[in-house]
Structure 1
């Protein structure tokens, strides 16, 4: 039987090797647990920091995109203002061009053939028309002169309809005034006459026929 009586000098008995080993292992385990907990705390802090950084980056990218959109809108508004600033004035000018063309078309060729003075006047009017149309084109204003094409409400304005045999309904049969574009916008629609369907009239004729006995 082991003697557990403390020494007479009051000192604690020395721990056995097994006890020392157990104590060392406990300290080691505690240190390892603390280290694991610290690593978990560090990982959580890092994850939170990364998430915050990603959120801030996303907000920054959104802000930069919005700034770029504002810049582009402002630039387009400035460009549009510059491109279409002459719209009202251009409408007046195309009316002048129309009047010049009417003046030229109103003089029969046979009337001008034997009149040198009239020929000179017409030549001057034609030169003025050409210069005006060239100046308009340089400003981004171009003439719309439709042919016998399908009526398009985006570019044409109907002034009258007529039943014309052999003409497809809804197609242009006459141009009263040319239209004009200013860059990519319609300045004035071409004023046109359009063929009207004769189907209803023909149907009426057919229905009015009576069979002979």
Structure 2
């Protein structure tokens, strides 16, 4: 490097060095900002996971309790189908109904809610179609029967509702007629 009369490096070299330092400074600043952004994203992911863990920690336990709730519903339905047999055991039926109400309210306190499926449009995210039923009263794709209630916990599906879905009634094609041929000509009956 040549020095000028005052003992300083030529100004061109200073400008290059300053530019180099500024470029390096910008690169370091960019890396720092990226590292801070990554740390913030990791913190937010951790908070989301902790929140999910708090909200959905009981999901497996609640899913098991749904079996108990289903059996209580079945017991109540069976007793109500045979009122003459249950006349002597009315207090037993009332106890079963009270247990069902308590269990339902307990599940609701923990954000477990029943899916209202009957009469709703079939939604594969909430319903499991077990069968299709010919039904002239409802639009195709409408839930006409609930075989097993479905439940959500907060906004997440816990168990899909098992349902029967309406389909169009199959009508025989118009203008069809049966042509009968005599057996001696070797042709069987067929539709045209």
TM over 0.5: yes
Residue 27 of structure 2 is matched in structure 1 by 55
Of the structure 1 ranges 48-57 and 79-88, higher mean CA displacement relative to structure 2 is found in 79-88
Q: Does the alignment pair 1:111 with 2:71?
A: no
**Higher Cα Rg: structure 1 or 2?**
1
What is the CA deviation profile of residues 107-154 of structure 1, one whole-angstrom value per residue up to 9, with x for unaligned ones?
238827x93x53322222222111111111222211112131211111
> Partners of 1:209 and 1:167 in 2: how far apart?
30
Deviates more, 1:51-60 or 1:64-73: 64-73
Cα distance in structure 1, aligned partners of 2:30 and 2:175: 74
More helix by share: 1
Count of aligned positions: 175
Whether 1:145 and 2:90 are equivalent positions in the alignment is no
- Judge conservation of contact 1:145–1:175 (CA < 8 Å) in 2: no
The two structures have a TM-score, normalised by structure 2, of 0.79
Give the 3-state SS of the residue equivalent to 1:166 in structure 2.
coil
Task: State the distance in 2 between where 1:55 and 1:130 align.
Answer: 64
Please tell me whether residue 41 in structure 1 is matched to residue 24 in structure 2: no
| Rounded Cα–Cα distance in structure 1 between residues aligned with 2:142 and 2:101 | 29
CA offsets, 1:66-91, max 9 Å, x none? 11222222232233233323222211
Give the TM-score, by structure 1 length.
0.72
Q: Which residue of 2 aligns with 1:167?
A: 138
Residue 107 of structure 1 aligns to a residue in which SS? Answer: helix
Give the structure 1 partner of residue 65 of structure 2.
93
Q: How far apart are residue 196 of structure 1 and its match?
A: 1.5
**Partner of 1:129 in structure 2?**
100
How far the C-alpha of 1:209 sits from its partner, in A, is: 4.3
Q: Deviations over 1:23-54 (max 9, x none)?
A: xxxxxxx869x97x733322222222111111
Q: Which residue of 2 aligns with 1:102?
A: 74
> In the alignment, which residue of structure 1 is the partner of 2:167?
196
How far apart are 1:97 and its partner, in Å?
1.0
Match of 2:150 in 1: 179
1:120 corresponds to which residue?
91
Q: How big is the alpha-carbon RMSD for the aligned residues of Structure 1 and Structure 2?
A: 2.7
Distance 2:142 2:73 in 1: 24
Tell me the equivalent position of 2:174.
Answer: 206
